[in-house]
Amino acid sequence: MPLSWSPSRREVVVRRRTVLGSMIAAPLLGSGCGGADDDALTFFFQARPEEARARTRIIDAFRRHRPDIEVRTILSGPDPLQQMLTYCAGGRCPDVLMAWELLYAGLAERGVLLDLRDLIARDPVGATLREDGYPELYDVFGYGGGQFALPEQWSGVFLYYNRELFARAGVVAPSSWDAAWSFDEFLSAATALTRGTGRDRQWGFVDGWVPAYSAACFGMNNGVEWFTPPVAPVRANVGDPRFAAGVQFYADLALRHGVAPKVADRQSVSAYDLFASGRAAMLLGGHWLYSEFAERADLDFDVTVLPVGPHGGPSAITDVGCTGLAIAAASPRREQAWEFVKFATGPVGQAVIAESGLFVPVLRSAMRSPGFLAAHRRIRNLAVFTEGPEHSRPLAVTPTWGKVEAVLSRQFSRVLRGAASAESLGDSASDVDALLRERI
């Protein structure tokens, strides 16, 4: 669900999907809703170049399966939500659309997305997708009583760690979500892994995701969800002392304990570069980084789970961080679109995803496949991936997320910079709750 603090920069920041990346991938893909074959099924998605190639493999497999259905792809720019709204407002909405955890509810509320329940109910494959999948991922795309997308890949967030640095410091990382370390154990490990000064400093922990979202995950791992309920929430829990304590623990890793770079320092060097160069022992990020680290023969790394606070547990949890596939309500090719969606989210499409190493599949059968194991052969703690979906929780699914995010952004920024304590997050609770009650 891999995300970023600004909706317009969401994929750009978190998944390093820059405009340049889109330009590189563009020759593989179509660039608009018009084209030589206006009867083709149009598929709108966002991807880095290597991810675009993986999606092309799924499309090629679908063409072999259904040669009677032509598929034309449309690659998103840096602001997929605005681009989709522009297309659909002009009567040129793509038939199949990529859906994001934090963004799709607004489209569903506007009537842009088709409720898939009837298609799922009348197709035997629909029951198979639900039974072989993970309810934690499937349900995140259920909003207002409808089912507006099917999950296609899981990313989550967890910790990458440098095996060599851990061994040198005598630190042992947990190997599964059910055997998580405590906040105290995590801090002790990060302290032992921090050494040196200045340019030679080795950090115990760096954040490769969005700091405010990461801090919220620490709050959630201290026993309280960020919003209640996470889908169509009516209340923000930022004022809950347990949530605030988890956020404060995250902030203090940099502000008080010095085991992580401060916010100001993050502007000069990326967390990815620090970890890849051996100057950081742990990095918080999602599966979108795996293929980049796996290509580095000089980097001996593995994955482990987020820590659990004194009020959390017994298992660690993570953000859902998955994307889904939706069908436009105005599509004149609903049946063809459904054939593609159920194929891409079904056994064959998920097998391609599993083999690619770029995504984590959303079907249990694909997760257990030889292809997935081969693509992740460098990972010893594979349960962090295979059990990740079951330990996932949504951050928030609300059509007013853009407004909610703007309010929380200012408050979280002050906390993470040390200008206010995490207890101050409660000051914004009533404003956020009012926004949650708004209709778009």
Query: Residue 121: is it exposed, middle or buried by C-beta count within 10 angstroms (0-12/13-18/19+)?
Result: exposed
- Whether the predicted pLDDT of 11 surpasses 60: no
pTM higher than the cut 0.85 = yes
Q: How confident is the model at residue 269 (pLDDT cuts 50, 70, 90)?
A: confident
- Whether the predicted pLDDT of 15 surpasses 80: no
- Whether the predicted pLDDT of 296 surpasses 70: yes
- Whether the predicted pLDDT of 12 surpasses 50: no
Q: What is the pLDDT of residue 402?
A: 93
Q: What tens digit of pLDDT does each residue of 304-344 get?
A: 999 999 999 999 999 998 999 999 999 999 999 999 999 99
E runs forming strands in 305-399: 318-319, 323-327, 392-393
* Bridge partners for 153 per DSSP: 323
Rounded-to-integer distance, Cα 250 and Cα 264, Å: 16
**How much is the average pLDDT of 394-402?**
95
Rounded-to-integer distance, Cα 368 and Cα 408, Å: 39
Q: What is the amino acid identity at position 230? A: P
Q: How confident is the model at residue 29 (pLDDT cuts 50, 70, 90)?
A: very low
- Whether the predicted pLDDT of 35 surpasses 50: no
When the pLDDT of each residue in the chain is averaged and rounded to a whole number, the result is 90
**How much is the average pLDDT of 151-172?**
97
- Whether the predicted pLDDT of 17 surpasses 60: no
Which has the minimum average pLDDT: 46-55, 219-228, 299-308, 315-324? 46-55
Neighbours of 60 (CB within 10 A): 12
Rounded-to-integer distance, Cα 215 and Cα 425, Å: 12
Q: Which residues of 179-206 are buried (b: 16+ CB within 10 A; e: fewer)?
A: ebbebeebbebbbbbbeeeeeeebbbbb
Q: How confident is the model at residue 47 (pLDDT cuts 50, 70, 90)?
A: confident
Q: Supply 366's token pair.
A: 């694909």
Q: What tens digit of pLDDT does each residue of 341-393 get?
A: 999 999 999 999 999 998 899 999 999 999 999 999 999 999 999 999 999 99
**How much is the average pLDDT of 161-180?**
97
Q: What is the pLDDT of residue 37?
A: 52
Which helix (H) or strand (E) element contains residue 281? Answer: none
E runs forming strands in 123-204: 142-143, 146-147, 150-153, 158-162
**How much is the average pLDDT of 247-270?**
91
What is the percent of the chain with per-residue pLDDT over 90, rounded to a whole number?
80
Q: Which residue, among 239, 177, 217, has the nearest Cα to 3 in the 3D structure? A: 217
Query: What domains can you pick out in the chain, each with its CATH number?
Result: 7-155+320-367 (3.40.190.10), 158-318+398-436 (3.40.190.10)
Q: What is the pLDDT of residue 266?
A: 77
Q: What is the amino acid identity at position 264? A: A
